[in-house]
Amino acid sequence: MPGIVLAERGAGADITEMERGSWLFPDGANRDRMLELDRELRPVRAAVIGLLVASLLVSGPWLGWWTLAPVLGAIAVFRLADERMDTMERPEWALFGAWVTSEVIMAAAVAVSGGPLVPTTAWLAIPVLTLGARFSDRGIALGVGLAIACLVGVELGVNTAAVVANPPLLVAPAALILCVAMFQTVLMRSEIRLRGEVVIDPLTGLLNRRALERRVEELEQQSKLTRQQVGLIAADIDHFKRFNDEYGHQAGDALLVDVAYALRKSLRAFDFGYRTGGEEFLVVLPGAKLEDAAQLAETLRDAVASVETDDRRVTMSCGVAASRDGAAFEFERVFEQADAALYEAKAAGRNRVRPQVGAAAPRAA
């Protein structure tokens, strides 16, 4: 995997909180993919906003320069949401809130520039383009409803007489919003399905090495600016080869599924888990100090120990490391520390958590 070198013995567990849902994601299953797609949409979103600003600058003498203010407000809202999402338990609400704000701000820009009589009315369809890439059917329905409500409010609120005299002023942009939503939803559902086949481990449902590579690159870039600490938990199932040899690969696969489920239930929405090989997992914790990562590792170890396997005891060892406070995150360095700590945990008898070399051991829960 280019840019990321994981030891063959490695460590790692990828898991995300797929089981804990919210109103926007009832089963939680697509939350990770939503975040992944949103990160890829950010450069495109920036380019679109730049294009809108340029068009408003060109149109300023006719529409008025004040129309720039709402667009600049939308930029500030999305920037705030991007900064907060990685540390929120329900990041989809931050994203949806930013989306709602952008639609309302777009409606305000249309209203101050003339309402139903200006070409910018069609701009209300632009945010709808991203609904299918980010949200469940509930979120899409709510977003489309809001877009239509904004359109009706702007047109009737600014110039009711013009709409009554010429109904297509309202009907045409409303139809555009609905058509965009329908086509984009179908296209993005197909994209999500294909993407899932690429970045999701088919056995456990966890993210894979390819997804890890993308996430690491983003965290390293962010860390250069924010200096936010990032923790890693390298983990693997103790004596998994022996288990496979004794009970067979089918039982081994079933064990991996059960362990992944136990881990997944213990992680928060902003913790990122990956299956990096065989019985090896890696958990990536943005914003976590060493003590926080070690505490979570103990929780994960306990969760695996509770897995029921017909009286066959299952345990997991964990190595924990974190980037230095105030220093940029370097994945390879922090991973090497976590992997070395995992080796120490196994050498000390397995079924335990070890922090990076030189740090104090965490207290067991």
Pair 292, 321: CB distance under 8 Å: no
Pair 73, 99: CB distance under 8 Å: no
At a CB cut-off of 8 Å and minimum separation 6, what does 271 contact?
15, 16, 17, 283, 284, 285, 296
Pair 298, 365: CB distance under 8 Å: yes
| Active-site residue, selected from the candidate residues 17, 36, 155, 279 | 279
Structural tokens at position 4:
């990321």
With tokens 């720039």, the residue in question is 68
Structural tokens at position 215:
């996430």
The Cα–Cα gap between 180 and 173 comes to 10
Q: Angle at which helices 68-85 and 91-113 pack, to 10 degrees?
A: 180
83 is catalytic: no
Angle (nearest 5°) at CA 276 between 270 and 277: 150
Give the residue ranges of DSSP H helices in the chain. Answer: 31-63, 68-85, 91-113, 131-134, 137-165, 168-199, 209-226, 240-247, 249-266, 290-305, 331-347
Max CA-CA distance within the chain?
A: 82
Residue 189's alpha-carbon distances to 91, 134, 316, in angstroms, are: 20, 10, 36
The Cα–Cα gap between 30 and 272 comes to 13
With tokens 């369809």, the residue in question is 125
CA Rg, the chain, in Å? Answer: 24
> Which residues are catalytic, by number?
279
